Structures are given as C-alpha cells and as structure tokens.
Structure 1
C-alpha cells in the first residue's frame, strides 16, 4: 500500500471518530483538521487547513493555545479545559489532550484531541445557576401503603431541623419529590432550592460548578458563584453524589463541616448556610466497599437517612398511581380515558417494575399515545417492550385466547428475600443482640444496622 493510500485511510479514520483532532507542524501551521473539530469550532476545514493558528484563533487575556504550549514545552498536556474564540469571534470551550509529535528526536509538531463542552458551559450559565423551583409537596406523593407512608412521616419529622439528609432509593422511586417536599415544608421554603445531578457534568467542570470560580483561575475562567453560594439560605440537592470523584468528595465534606466555601483559584473563604440533601441509587455500603463513596462523607450526610421503597415493595399504591397518571395525561393530551382493563391491572400488580414509579408512568403515557377512540387501556395499547414481559401473559391470554406460563420471581428479588430471611433468623438466634449478630455474620455493627433499617427489621 503506497503512502498516498495510507494518508487517505488515516484521514477517513480520524474523520469518523467522535472527537476533534487538530494537528499542527513546528511552525504552528495546521496540517490536519478533522470533520468533528470543524463542527466543534464552527469553521470550514478550508478556513483552518494549511493556515497558522495564531492568525485564526484568539484567546482570553493571558490565555494561549495548548497546541502551541506543547510545542514550547515539548511535553503532553492532559485533560485541560480551554476557552477561545474562532474566526467569527464565537467562544468555544473544549476539554483537550495535547501531545508533542517527534521524529528521530526532533519535534515536528503537536496534536490535539478535543471534546466539546460549549453546550454544557452554556447550560451551566443559563440553567444551573438559576434558582431551582421546588414545586412538589408531600401532597404530591401518591400512595397509601405502609411502606410509603412511613417514609413520608419520617421526612416530615426531618423538616424541623437543618441536618443533612441522605435519600437512598432505586432509580425512578421519586427521591427528588421527597427532597422538594422537605424543602417546601421547612423554614427554608422561601429560599432557593437548587438541584444538581452529579453524574450529568464532566468531572473537569464539576468543582467549579459546586464551589464557583475566580476570574483568571484558569484559561477562560470568570468570576462566578457556585451552587453552594447560589443556594445560600436554602437547600442544595446533590443527586447521585457517588458519581463525584473521591477527591472532590473530600472537598465537599470540608465545605459541609466548616460551612464555608472557597471558589476555585481563590484564597478567600465565604460563609454559606445551606442544607444538603444527597441521593444515591445503590446500597451506600456497597458504594463505600467499591470505593465510590467516601465513608466519612457518608456518615456526615446520613445524619438523617431516608429509604424510598421500590414500587415492588409498595404494590398497594399501584391502584392509586394508575388513575393519577391516566388523569394527568388526559389533561395533557385532551383525552377522556376512564381506566384500565381489570386483567391488565392484575398484570400490573404481578410485575415487579424495575424502573419503579417512573416506569409505570411511562407505560401509562405510552399506552395513551396508542389509544384511538377507546376509553379503557388494554393489553393491545401497551408499548412493545412491556407486552413481551412474561408477567403480562394473563392480559395477553385475555387478548389473544392463548395460555402462557407465569414468570418465576426475579433473581434480585429472590436474593433480597433470602437476605432478609437470613438476617431475621440470625438476629433471632442471638436474641436480638445486634453486636453478636454482626460478629456472627462477619460484618461491622454499622453495616448490620444499616441493613436492618433498610428492611425494617428491629433489634436491640
């Protein structure tokens, strides 16, 4: 294969990857500029190729191109955020990995691989730093089961103080509803409620979002308050807090303990008065064991621990939730659906709803999109992915006249039931003594107490 074909293949490969690639020679002239980089920077390839980047791009005061910086220092620069302006003076923000290119020990250029975060930066400016609206109250939480009413009562008691709260529950159980309800029922209700999903923002930007930035702290940095300052006097909800890097978790712990925040690049500590509500969608003991959640942060956040039960543990509430969602989408869609087929409701009660209340709502919404002039939701209106679930075989039977075998209990539910049974049996053998039970099970007393609270098992 000749050199021309190699270059053609090389160019095709780099044009097809979902990252910007920009290569310059030792003089700063562009020798390769892929399609994705063209999209990120909003310029045509011909506007950049074979031209010196000093003539095309401009930078904030004291800022400079990482491509040129690598040429000067002859060493790679990894995971650096850079803000600059294209030839139309539009601001671009990227996260870059930049490498020197050498041949026989001679520096011949540099290469940059970039990820676009311009849209995320705009979202941060336009959305994240506006005060959030906490529209839900405890009246918004639908359910009459013992499992849910006990959590509601515990949450109402937590409204009276300013202690940190850790809400534990699977995805779709309604953790934010509880967080907003607590805020709206507390003395902080007239102050900001700000919510941030910690998994939604790149790690390189998260510190500045939480704590704020000082102008000039890094290339393109502006004077901007973080979430703690924005939520001052109110409540800050940190969703999926285990998504934060452990080093950032340590800084978060310091802010919570000292009630002061220091912006990135600043030397000044600013006092903040914020109630922290954090959520996790996995067992926090497992998260700690796997190094995803710092133990000291867990203990600091879990002053009040709320366990939101999955829908499979509160199936009595399905009778309340289904008509609520039907009425909601009747209003949104301008429809008049009066209910759900009896056999389908029986299938709803048999299904374990791994996506919890959110999944139930989406199924109702999907069904109402498929209804024509009917007034009752039946099996034929269900989305395909739900129709194929074995738990809905009775509804299919009524619909098609065919018999199908009912499903066995899902593995995760079987294992959970086995764990509950084993804990109860061991606790009984030790006459309810938690310390002796923990020793018998080979776990810490704190770990056992967490699991007993999670499953509502009493000991002494």
Structure 2
C-alpha cells in the first residue's frame, strides 16, 4: 500500500515538471507544497520554504497583499489576480495568480496558489504603453501626418472592392462605430486609417491595439489605464481610451477579446466614460471605435466569441473586404503597383513578369491575400537583380504547383460534352454546381462566406446545395 509520504513525493515530482508555480499552505499558514517553477520565479529553494511559516519567508507580504492568506481567511477563490512583489533577490516580479481554498470532507485544510510569471510580458506592455503615449499626439510634417494611409492607398478596381471603399468613405462622414471583416492580409488597417484620416477626427490621435496580443488582465490595463494602489506596484497611468480622446481606436481581432472584458468595453461605449483599473473616478472620453475581425461576424456571433450586445453596438456600419481570390481582376494591377514600389526602393528597373507567372498568379488561391502577393513580389525582385522580367525561378514553387492543380480542376469541372447533355439547363446546372462546389471548398464549408463570394443569399445557396446534393 502506498504511504502518505510516497504519495507526497510522487505529487512533488509531478508538480516540478509543470511550468506554472504551485504553492500550497495549510490552514495555519505553513507551506506544505512548493514546486520548482515557483522556486525559480521567486528565487527560492523548496527546502527553504516547505515547513516554514508563510510570512516568515515572505516578510514583504501581509494578510492584505498576499492572495494566499486572503483566501485562507475569506475561504473564497481569487481568480486571475495580478500581483507584483519583490523576490528574495530583490527583483520585482509580476504574476497572474489563481488562488483557491482547499477542503477535505467539508473541512478547510489550507489554500493553493497557481502562479504564471508575466514579468516579461508586463515589461513589454509598459514599453508599448510608453511608446503609445509618445505617438498619440498628432505628428506633422508640413501639412501632412507622418506614416498614415488614406483611401488613395487602397488599390483595386473590382466591384466588390470598390463597394467596400465606397462604404468606408461614407463611414468617414460620421462618428458611428464600424465593424470590418476581412481575412488576414486583406488590408483592414488601411481601411481603418482611411476612415480616420478622412473624418473630422483626423487631427486627433489614431491608436491601434491588437486584442490577441496580451492576456485579458493586461489588455484591460492597456485599454482603461491603472490607478495607483490597484495592485502592488501599480501607478497612475492613462489607458488607450484616454490617450485617444477625440480620436479613433482600432480594436484589431476583436473576436480574441475575452467576454468579461467585452462587457466592460460595452459599458464604455454606452456611457462614454472609463474607469481605470482599481480607480473610483469616472473619466469622460470621446472616442470612435473601429473593430476588425478575421472571422465571419455571423460565425463569431453564433459561436459565442463576441457578446451579442457588443456586436450590435459595434456593427453600426459593416464593411466586408473581399479576399484576393475573389477579386482576381485586381491581381495584375496590384502586381504592377508592387513592382513599381520595389523598383523605387531597391533601385531596380523591372518592367513586369512573364506570362507564365501571371497565369499562375491568376490560378493561385492567395491564402495570405494582398500581403502575401506583396511579399512574393518583394522576394522575387530581391532575386532578380539585373533582370528586366520576373521569371518563375524567382517565386516560391508552391505557387505554381497549386495554380496548376486549381486550373486542371476547374477545366475538369467545367468540361462540357455536347453529346452528354440533352438541353441547355443541364449545362447550366453543371457549371453552377461546379462553382458552388469550388466556393464551398475555398471557405471550408462556411455557407455564409460562400454565399457572399457567389453573390447570392444564404437561403438561396442552402437551396442549391440541397438541389445538387452538395450538403455536408
């Protein structure tokens, strides 16, 4: 039979191989478990902590500042709590802690704390905050803003792309919230900056924040700021909303923001003021929000990635940027634009690319969209020093392999034998079925996206999927 000491040894070995710090104290405040990750975090050895009174080992903490002691007293869990303190080497560290009381047979026996080291992340966020504070005041060079994009930077003549630009220009005339949907690389931030710099807010700050870049607790501090004393080491610092007062905030990848933080964002949008983390004062702000998502808005709504009330608050103006594969008539023009751009930057004189490359570009799916196209052109031009044309050997071979496969598939799907069909309706059905099948493949079976690309209603597509037995 396994003894208690053996079980404790097994447990200690298991805890020593995980990344999170684990610290367990009994009901009297003595440490009974302390793993390797926690020791590395705090600059301690397990033998210096286990069996010792908690406050004798950590004299800088007390019953008010230690989450372990708070939970031991209150018997209520504290989840995702940030904590900043000095370790034994007098190095300031910051953690995100989840601390819960422990019970056996309904009797309290102690508390456990699980800590994740975010010191480096906090340092990076502070640096970003400092840089944002530096750049939030408009910078002028003569009469023009430095490093900004306008609608003139949006290149493309396809009807769907021009429709998106038209909607964006209309949106620039108001201060309503905007939700922009586009796959990665379609140019969402260019649209957002175009709206900002064509609006009456153009002389005020524009700040972009990627919602997927930081944990929720740090993102909250970045957005709303912090108040001195809100947690150990906290200082009075304005958040992005205060910094962007009078201007525009881009919330990129809004679908990555946690639902709890979404609720706080909704309150700011509804009431027009922010409250710093740990603060008591309501600070009025006048900020326009433009949010972007790289997932279909209906998809993130149906799958609970965005609160319904926030979605409808943001989706006052909705703009869908088409992927490059759905605006292939723009590929040649964009290619020539990027060639001219890198001719200037690299001091080259490339006049274009051969027809084999252009044909491949037209049949390639461009999953990275315009950004991938630009990177392909830049890479090819770096390999074509002294050449007047961009040739196949200057581009990644996978572009040509996929293009050839797609072309062959399209030809096969659209092949029509005059002997095979009795009337024109059968020919039309076969062609329509092939296009629908291709659209469903490109959107991984997403009916809403496929319907948008085909230019038909979702209900119509569902009917046709049933008609052609293409339902998944």
Distance in 2 separating the partners of 1:350 and 1:152: 25
Unaligned 5+ segments in structure 1 are 396-402, 428-439, 442-460
Distance in 2 separating the partners of 1:377 and 1:148: 27
Report the CA distance shift for 1:404/1:177 in structure 2 as closer, same or farther (over 3 A).
closer
Report the CA distance shift for 1:267/1:371 in structure 2 as closer, same or farther (over 3 A).
same
What does residue 126 of structure 1 align with?
Answer: 127
RMSD: 4.0
Query: 1:299-310 maps to which residues of 2 (within 5 A)?
Result: 299-310=312-323
The equivalent position to 1:180 in structure 2, one of 188, 193, 198, is: 193
**C-alpha deviation, 1:233, in angstroms:** 1.1
Distance in 2 separating the partners of 1:290 and 1:122: 34
Answer whether contact 1:56 1:86 (CA < 8 A) is retained. no
Distance in 2 separating the partners of 1:407 and 1:63: 72
Distance in 2 separating the partners of 1:54 and 1:334: 67
Report the CA distance shift for 1:373/1:122 in structure 2 as closer, same or farther (over 3 A).
same
Query: 1:135-174 maps to which residues of 2 (within 5 A)?
Result: 135-174=148-187
Answer whether contact 1:83 1:91 (CA < 8 A) is retained. yes
What does residue 192 of structure 1 align with?
Answer: 205
| Range that drifts further, 286-295 or 271-280 | 286-295
**C-alpha deviation, 1:204, in angstroms:** 2.8
Report the CA distance shift for 1:251/1:380 in structure 2 as closer, same or farther (over 3 A).
same
What does residue 275 of structure 1 align with?
Answer: 288
Query: 1:282-321 maps to which residues of 2 (within 5 A)?
Result: 282-321=295-334
**C-alpha deviation, 1:232, in angstroms:** 0.3
What does residue 69 of structure 1 align with?
Answer: 70
Distance in 1 separating the partners of 2:317 and 2:105: 62
SS of 2:98 mapped into structure 1: strand
Answer whether contact 2:36 2:46 (CA < 8 A) is retained. no
Report the CA distance shift for 1:106/1:370 in structure 2 as closer, same or farther (over 3 A).
farther
Report the CA distance shift for 1:38/1:357 in structure 2 as closer, same or farther (over 3 A).
farther
Report the CA distance shift for 1:234/1:70 in structure 2 as closer, same or farther (over 3 A).
same
Residues 271-328 of structure 1: CA distance to partner in whole angstroms, max 9, x if unpaired? 2111111112222233222222233333332222222111112122222333444555
What does residue 402 of structure 2 align with?
Answer: 390
**C-alpha deviation, 1:234, in angstroms:** 0.8
Distance in 1 separating the partners of 2:106 and 2:16: 28
What does residue 436 of structure 1 align with?
Answer: none
Distance in 2 separating the partners of 1:268 and 1:243: 28
Distance in 2 separating the partners of 1:57 and 1:189: 52
Report the CA distance shift for 1:56/1:182 in structure 2 as closer, same or farther (over 3 A).
farther
Report the CA distance shift for 1:105/1:277 in structure 2 as closer, same or farther (over 3 A).
closer
**Is the counterpart of residue 20 in structure 1 residue 21 in structure 2?**
yes
**C-alpha deviation, 1:228, in angstroms:** 1.2
The equivalent position to 1:258 in structure 2, one of 257, 261, 271, is: 271
Report the CA distance shift for 1:5/1:426 in structure 2 as closer, same or farther (over 3 A).
closer
SS of 1:190 mapped into structure 2: coil
Distance in 2 separating the partners of 1:74 and 1:257: 36
Distance in 2 separating the partners of 1:148 and 1:285: 20
Residues 161-198 of structure 1: CA distance to partner in whole angstroms, max 9, x if unpaired? 22222212122211111111221222222211111112
Using the size of structure 2 for normalisation, the TM-score is 0.74
SS of 2:65 mapped into structure 1: coil
Residues 73-112 of structure 1: CA distance to partner in whole angstroms, max 9, x if unpaired? 4554332221111123332111112244567887665432
What does residue 359 of structure 2 align with?
Answer: 346
SS of 1:16 mapped into structure 2: coil
Report the CA distance shift for 1:44/1:326 in structure 2 as closer, same or farther (over 3 A).
farther
Distance in 2 separating the partners of 1:279 and 1:289: 17
What does residue 203 of structure 1 align with?
Answer: 216
Query: 1:53-132 maps to which residues of 2 (within 5 A)?
Result: 54=55, 57=58, 63-74=64-75, 76-100=77-101, 110-128=111-129, 129-130=132-133, 131=135
What does residue 423 of structure 1 align with?
Answer: 457
SS of 1:292 mapped into structure 2: coil
Answer whether contact 1:17 1:36 (CA < 8 A) is retained. yes
Distance in 1 separating the partners of 2:31 and 2:390: 61
Using the size of structure 1 for normalisation, the TM-score is 0.75
Answer whether contact 1:192 1:234 (CA < 8 A) is retained. yes
